[in-house]
Amino acid sequence: MGKVKQREKQLRKQEIRANPIGIPSLRDVEEAEREGISLEGAGTASNFVQTVLEQLQSPMVEERDSGLNSLSMVLENPKILDELLSHNILQLVAPLLMDPSTIVRHSAAGALRNMSTLGPQVVDLMNTKEVLRPLAILLRSKYGSEWTPQTHKKEAAEKSKDKVDSMTDCLIQAMNIVWNLCETSQESLDFLKKDGVFTVILKCLNSEVFGLKLAVAAAQCLNTVTEGSNDIISDTAEFEIYLLNILSQELIKENLDADWVHFQVLIIGILVNLHEGQISKLQSAIITKIIHKLSAVLELNHIQEIKSFSSSVPIPAPVTAKMETSQNGSRSAHTNGYHKEQEVDPEIQIVLDTNAESIQAVLDAQTMALELLSNILFGDDESNSDSDDENESDTVEDSMMDDDLDNSMEVEMLGDSSPAGFVVEVCEGIKAFGLITKVTSKTSQLPENVLDILRNNHQFGRAILCKLHRLQSTSLLCFQNMIGAFSIEDLGGIQVLRHIWNDIFRYIKEECQPGVPPTDVEFLTSSTSCLRGILQKVLDESCPDFFESLSLEFLQVFLQLYSINIPPLLTNVIRIIGGVGILISREKKPTEDHQRLLILIGEFLLNCVIQTGHHDNLIGIAEALDTIFDVFAEDDYNGILKEIGMIQQLKAFVPQFKKIIRYQRKQLGDNKAIVETSRTNLTRFIDYKIKHGAA
């Protein structure tokens, strides 16, 4: 859950040295492009591939090890990877997991681990017996009941704090392979369960014997494989007691140990998985302990840790300005002064590596803590929410059918705003430990000078930024889930929600410039999801003065965001713009400016429905229709519907809408009921509005 893979330390150290194979890696290409260096003549892919194939089949240990290390260094080069796969490279590398040489087994595990992070195409090729059988044999034969790492004793660990022996690191790589393969393939999970692989992995949870590095790797793997399957645990009751004993230990002892923090969060994840995510099955005292532990993890100041780390990172040497050609052919002067990284003393490099890994472990731990918090917030009876949705749809339809009930259509906006379905103990713990503030604090941004240092550091700076962005996105989604469980007062008051909204809106405004693609779609999606949740809460609790001002510029930011045309963003933008429309429609005496905004909102929603370019996004059409029903439920605004000709255009669209549904019905899946409800409500909406003079 929420993991971001990272290359092992040995490979990173190899990248510092000169390229021994003559083939440019992806990093070499990127650096060459920045510094205007030509890589022509650096070697050909075909020659390199042939050399590697020969080395992997060599009778000499050094040759096999060299071939595996060369392979690991170029896997991110798409051209070379494709050629390697065409030569069935996996069938040559996988058997080396059983090589007599410890060094070769270690390098083979590292190469396969890296390959398992390269996307679905490669992972599918690895989910075969040709790869899984050697992996299972390695784990069973070399790491059976008698094996313990050389550095498991405390005194030895202190002396070798930054060193991991080959046997231990090979096991870490092997467990990461199991983790990555089982995450995407039930067949791999079933195969490895039969081969007794998880007996080896389970024992590595004992950090006192096997050390934290192995314990974390084991916990990461088990957290994934237990998410939908507990049958790898022979005695779940006894195992639960074992996990609770780990959680009973202090999170932070004498000093912050990031691996220990990460390990404890993973243990919570495994514990929750044992109960199939239904935390309400646990005793109240255990739930409180879990919330307390997650609170302590989120209390860690990750921003301060990153700032301290950045101050110790060597500043890259400046380069002079030069002309660069972008992908679209335009040329511009580039003068960002930090490009060429300086060589670092090996001892300093070890310290930097250790500190960077520590920060990444904290970021991973906090991201997972937020994900866990989001998941355990909800109760286990999902059928209730389904029933609520059905009842809500019935209410919408009934209100449209009965003209005599009221002079208007009272339609509520769809959303998860009801506190019903949330776990009471979790909600109480969140309030008791002040977790709402801790969650929102994880959206904090780094100072620009720190960002510059990290952006221009290839070894670990960019990896830290990647994990930081994921933490920020997850915190927004977690807060969005919390919004539904708490009142505005519990969330800090209307001023706090307004402050969060303004911060996010400012980011979106800066990110969505015409003609410039967004730099972080994931964060944009999380941001708009959070805004949608805030607006829903404002509507539910009737806060008409939430927006201090509404202007055309405000609306244009979201219209620009909609033009990016990414499905999750489209849905969120439709609901946000619609929510603003509902707020305006609830005003007793809307100003002329607000009425003009309402006209623009109506035109926007209508275009979302009838424009041909949106017809492949049937869910988006359904969302836009539902939003139209919400915004223009009141008969007071029938004049606007008449002015923009909405009813006539919707009526003309009905046959086409039915045709689109018929063509896409098989692809709707769980969204079928939503689309069918929109179709039914559309006809009733049109009939109702025609009767009340909106046409």
| Dist CA 174 CA 132 (whole Å) | 11
How does pLDDT run across 537-557, given as a tens digit for each residue? 999 999 888 998 888 888 999
Task: State the pLDDT at residue 576.
Answer: 95
pTM of the model: 0.81
Supply the pLDDT for residue 76: 83
Nearby residues of 637 by Cβ (< 8 Å), 6 or more positions away: 585, 598, 631
Kindly indicate the confidence band of residue 184, based on its pLDDT and cuts at 50, 70 and 90. Answer: confident
Residues 293 and 299: their CA atoms lie apart, in Å, by 10
* Band of residue 625 on the pLDDT scale cut at 50, 70, 90: very high
What tokens were used for 408?
A: 């208007």
Return phi, psi of residue 152, to 5°. -80, -20
Residue corresponding to tokens 């992070």 = 117
pLDDT at 344: 65
Nearest to 21 by CA among 49, 61, 58, 59: 49
Instruction: Say whether 331 sits in a helix, a strand or coil.
Output: strand
Q: What integer pLDDT is reported at residue 402 of this predicted model?
A: 42
| Lookup: tokens for 297 | 């993890």
Give the model's pLDDT for residue 163. 55
Q: Is pLDDT above 80 for 474?
A: yes
Nearest to 146 by CA among 167, 129, 132: 167
pLDDT band at 7 (very low <50, low <70, confident <90, very high): very low
User: What confidence score (pLDDT) does residue 409 get?
Assistant: 38
Report pLDDT for 519. 81
pLDDT value for 317: 58
The Cα–Cα gap between 140 and 161 comes to: 27
Q: How confident is the model at residue 341 (pLDDT cuts 50, 70, 90)?
A: low
- Tell me the C-alpha distance between 342 and 689, whole Å: 70
pLDDT on residue 29: 44
Of the listed ranges 421-430, 506-515, 550-559, 609-618, the least confidently predicted one is 609-618
Averaged pLDDT for residues 3-28: 40
* pLDDT tens-digit readout, 490-535: 999 999 999 999 999 999 998 888 878 888 888 899 999 999 999 9
Q: What is the DSSP string of 439-459?
A: HHHTTPPPPHHHHHHHHT-TT
Measured between alpha carbons, how far is residue 81 from residues 66, 72, 107, 149, 209 in Å? 17, 10, 17, 34, 39
- If one compares 253 and 543, the residue with the highest pLDDT of the two is 543
Query: Does residue 325 surpass a pLDDT of 50?
Result: no
The domains of the chain, with CATH numbers, are 382-420+487-691 (1.25.10.10)
Specify the residue for token string 């001023």: 495
Res. 410: pLDDT tops 90: no
248-257, 550-559, 674-683: the lowest-pLDDT one: 248-257
Q: How far is CA 163 from CA 74, 352, 443, in A?
A: 25, 14, 34
- Of 161-175, 350-364, 399-413, give the lowest mean pLDDT range: 399-413
Question: What mean pLDDT value characterizes the chain?
Answer: 82
Least confident of 114-118, 538-542, 609-613: 609-613
Nearest to 134 by CA among 107, 94, 172: 94
Reported confidence tier of residue 403, pLDDT bands at 50, 70, 90: very low
More confident residue, 63 or 347: 63
Q: What is the mean pLDDT of residues 459-463?
A: 84
Give the pLDDT confidence score for residue 254 in this predicted structure.
60
* pLDDT above 50 for 217: yes
Cα–Cα distances in Å, from 395 out to 382, 390, 420, 633, 685?
20, 9, 18, 13, 13
Tokens of 502: 């303004």
Give residue-wise pLDDT tens across range 364-400. 999 999 999 999 998 754 434 444 444 444 433 443 3
pLDDT, tens digit, for every residue of 562-579? 888 887 888 899 999 999
| Structure-token pair, residue 79 | 């051209």
Q: What is the pLDDT of residue 45?
A: 67
The pLDDT confidence band at residue 612, using thresholds 50, 70 and 90, is low
311 or 297: which carries more pLDDT confidence? 297
Q: Which has the closest alpha carbon to 480: 343, 359, 373?
A: 373
pLDDT at 195: 82
Is 628 in contact with 577 (CB distance < 8 Å)? no
Return the beta strands (E) in 151-222 as ranges. none
Least confident of 465-479, 573-587, 594-608, 664-678: 664-678
The burial of 335, by beta-carbon neighbours within 10 Å (0-12 exposed, 13-18 middle, 19 or more buried), is given as: exposed
State the Cα–Cα distance between residues 94 and 132, nearest whole angstrom. Answer: 8
pLDDT at 144 over 50: yes
Confidence of residue 39 (pLDDT cuts 50, 70, 90): very low
